Structure 1
Amino acid sequence: MILPLGGNTALNNNQLVVKITNANLAFGQTIGMVWLATDNQYHAKIQPAYLETTQNWASFHQSTWKLDLNKVLNYEITRLELIVYTYHNPNLAMPAAELSSFDLIINDTITHQIIINQRHIKTAIVLEIYQKNGQYKCRARGEYSNLSLSSLNKYVQTELNENFPKNPQNNDNYEQETNNLWTGTAFAIDNHHLLTCHHVIAGANQILLHQQGKPTLQAFVVMSDQGSDTAVLKVDMPLTVSLSLQTGQRPLLGESIIAMGFPLASISSQLQVNTGNIAGLMGMYNDIRFLQFTAPTQPGSSGSPLLLANGQVIGMVTATLVGGQNMNYAVKYQLLSAILSSCDIDNQPTFHDNIHTPELVKRHKDGLWLVECS
């Protein structure tokens, strides 16, 4: 049977076998997996089981997990979460790894298809095992993020190990990835600096900025913060148009916004514009650094500014919850402003009256740049 996203089904017994199939991922080389044993509040209760560090209740061999649920689920440990993630090693000279689609075959009879169409996905919660009325059950999860595994630490209340294995199986995959290109969006915030996402430029040996009708610029990283998924870039050639961050406090819930960026750059390098509104004032797991918005996003949207009708930026697109309806997230302007201040960068506020979207795009489009990383 096919287990749809969000669906659940009963398991025959306490012996669980989960096989990975149809995967173009280097599990154990650049991609890791971990079983997290939690209570009903999703707080970890015992040491997790990793690909490279298994437990007496979970082991992994030749693309297959084997679990004894009787050894782990009890009155205190009520659920198991299977998380797939990219390994992190800041000293590894390779492009940033990312997740892609694969299938899970559960007890040879249940198929869960994990569909990941977006670029730069770093962490995915894909399966949940729990017990209800004395019956073991599994649920298909689909919560994907371009933040690293360690971003879950404060929510699960344990230190998750996202580090690269000390003895990976081989290094063939790394050389194959060195010719990869990936793209995102950046926007200018003064004559020489731009903002984009950390995950857009992470692992890049070269960062190029493109805009139709203008020379290609080479950018350099001033700072990059994984926790906030924010990076500041610098270029030598003066930028003619820059955007201003919102200043002060204002009610944002329900506010109309315009998102501008370069999604799907492999198909078209044209600037894309989408509209929506602010749907929530917190990110995933109630993270106050982010807000939720409804303007559609696609791969390449990361780093796009969210603008009000007066042209001020209230957020920067960072993540989309794949499988969620319009569950898109942006870094709040307050955090972006604090990051610029820490770099001694002065983003001068500019004001104009609320204007219609076509005029807004015309005024500010030259402040948007397509980011190409290699």
Structure 2
Amino acid sequence: MQGRDADRVVVCAVGADGGIIPFAQGEGGRWQAPSPLIRETTLEVVAYIHDDRSGGFVNTAYPIHVEIAGQAYVLPEPDQQLAAVILTEIYAKDGVWRAKISNEGFTFGIEAYARARNLRDVQFPSRPGRNPDRPPRGATASGSGVLIAPGLVITNAHVIEDGTALELGRSRNKLKPVAADLMHDLALLEGEVDGDPLPLRNTAPLWLGEGVLAAGFPLMDVLGADLKVTTGNISGLTGSHGDVSRFQFTAPIGSGSSGGAIIDEFGNLVGVTCSSLAHGNMRERGSISENVNFAVRVALVYELVAAAGFTLPDLKPSLNNDRRDVVQRLRKSVVSVIVHF
């Protein structure tokens, strides 16, 4: 591995039985398999970003050179942004062990790989153990999402973090993650979704004080499973510490609103709800903060969709600001996302 961020990559072999065989790291981005590597089970040699929760993908470590039994291969950079890549498959056929170059992977990293292989509670090298504050196995949680193209839903990456299965709240149709931008907390989901995509406003700039609506599914276990819509305005053009990828708004939100829509008065998507200011921490400092919330700008949604190889429909911006019509359209565009752990 010779590219940028190669020092953030870990390599190991994973058995079908969940056994982990760590590779030894040498100098110059070299990783050496233990000898003998072959075991009684099929193996996959996997490279992954060990700290992917901080953002980043294996792509930055390419080109990757693989040598098997004296035969050298140069792997081209994948088309998609991947945080874990299966480099090689080692398997037995007709009693003979064989190796096949793969170079396919997972946007959501080694944990997504583990879920796909049904390898629960496997501890991968250089990865932190399971956070006890995360939901226990078998639990469910909910968040919000926005239909932006037929079969494509945008939400927050943190909404689906550690989930083993995803589904739509209203239909129980399955969803699968197809791309993520962990740095900006966005995730793109694909599935059968009834509804109308929401037009994205990416040409007209936001203005301070502009009226907005927040739509999502907060506190579904308390408030019910119907859509909630609140009003407010854009109170800041940047996020925390001047983050230009976000903006600040005042429309009230709650737990479960993450991934929901922030729209302008005409019903065009301008942002994706992502977080609130930690009110308790502010009060401990002697400050008062109410309705200080943040959204990811819609421009980042465009970037993620393009990077994942999808195309957004050519929807003209809505010019109808009748509030009843705007909210009715939201009912067909904003969805709840159920996450199983």
TM-score (norm 1): 0.52
Counterpart in the other structure of 2:236? 280
Q: Secondary structure at the match of 1:363?
A: helix
1:361 to 2:316 alignment? no
Q: Provide Cα deviations, 1:128-152, integer angstroms capped at 9, x if missing partner.
A: xxxxxxxxxxxxxxxxxxxxxxxxx
CA gap of 1:355–1:174, structure 2 versus 1, over 3 A, is closer
Judge conservation of contact 2:262–2:273 (CA < 8 Å) in 1. Answer: yes
Equivalent residue letter for 2:302:
S
Aligned counterparts, 1:172-187, within 5 A: 177-187=136-146
**Counterpart-to-counterpart distance in 1, 2:208 and 2:225:** 32
Q: CA RMSD in A?
A: 2.5
**Counterpart-to-counterpart distance in 2, 1:318 and 1:216:** 23
Equivalent residue letter for 1:336:
V
Equivalent residue letter for 2:137:
T
Q: Provide Cα deviations, 1:200-250, integer angstroms capped at 9, x if missing partner.
A: 011111001022xxx321000011221100000000x35331111103133
Equivalent residue letter for 2:205:
R
Q: Secondary structure at the match of 1:352?
A: coil
Structure 1 segments (4+ residues) deviating >3 Å: 89-95, 171-176
Instruction: State the percentage of identical aligned residues.
Output: 26
Counterpart in the other structure of 2:215? 260
* Equivalent pairs, count: 211
1:191 to 2:150 alignment? yes
Judge conservation of contact 2:234–2:247 (CA < 8 Å) in 1. Answer: yes
Correspondence for 1:342 among 307, 319, 330: 307
Counterpart in the other structure of 2:276? 320
Q: Provide Cα deviations, 1:94-138, integer angstroms capped at 9, x if missing partner.
A: 99xxxxxxxxxxxxxxxxxxxxxxxxxxxxxxxxxxxxxxxxxxx
Counterpart in the other structure of 2:166? 207
Correspondence for 2:266 among 304, 310, 326: 310
Equivalent residue letter for 1:207:
L
Q: CA deviation at 1:198?
A: 0.1
Q: Secondary structure at the match of 1:349?
A: coil
Judge conservation of contact 1:190–1:239 (CA < 8 Å) in 2. Answer: no
**Counterpart-to-counterpart distance in 2, 1:279 and 1:172:** 34
CA gap of 1:279–1:362, structure 2 versus 1, over 3 A, is same
CA gap of 1:178–1:312, structure 2 versus 1, over 3 A, is same
CA gap of 1:276–1:175, structure 2 versus 1, over 3 A, is closer
1:292 to 2:248 alignment? yes
Equivalent residue letter for 1:332:
R
Counterpart in the other structure of 1:240? 195
Correspondence for 1:333 among 298, 314, 319: 298
Q: Secondary structure at the match of 1:275?
A: strand
Counterpart in the other structure of 1:351? 317
Unpaired runs of 5+ residues, structure 2, are 1-107, 116-125, 280-288
Q: CA deviation at 1:172?
A: 11
Equivalent residue letter for 2:247:
L
Aligned counterparts, 1:98-117, within 5 A: none
Q: CA deviation at 1:254?
A: 0.9
CA gap of 1:319–1:343, structure 2 versus 1, over 3 A, is same
**Counterpart-to-counterpart distance in 1, 2:193 and 2:135:** 36
TM-score (norm 2): 0.57
Q: Secondary structure at the match of 1:177?
A: coil
**Counterpart-to-counterpart distance in 2, 1:363 and 1:274:** 15
**Counterpart-to-counterpart distance in 1, 2:194 and 2:318:** 20
Judge conservation of contact 2:156–2:258 (CA < 8 Å) in 1. Answer: yes
Q: Secondary structure at the match of 2:158?
A: helix
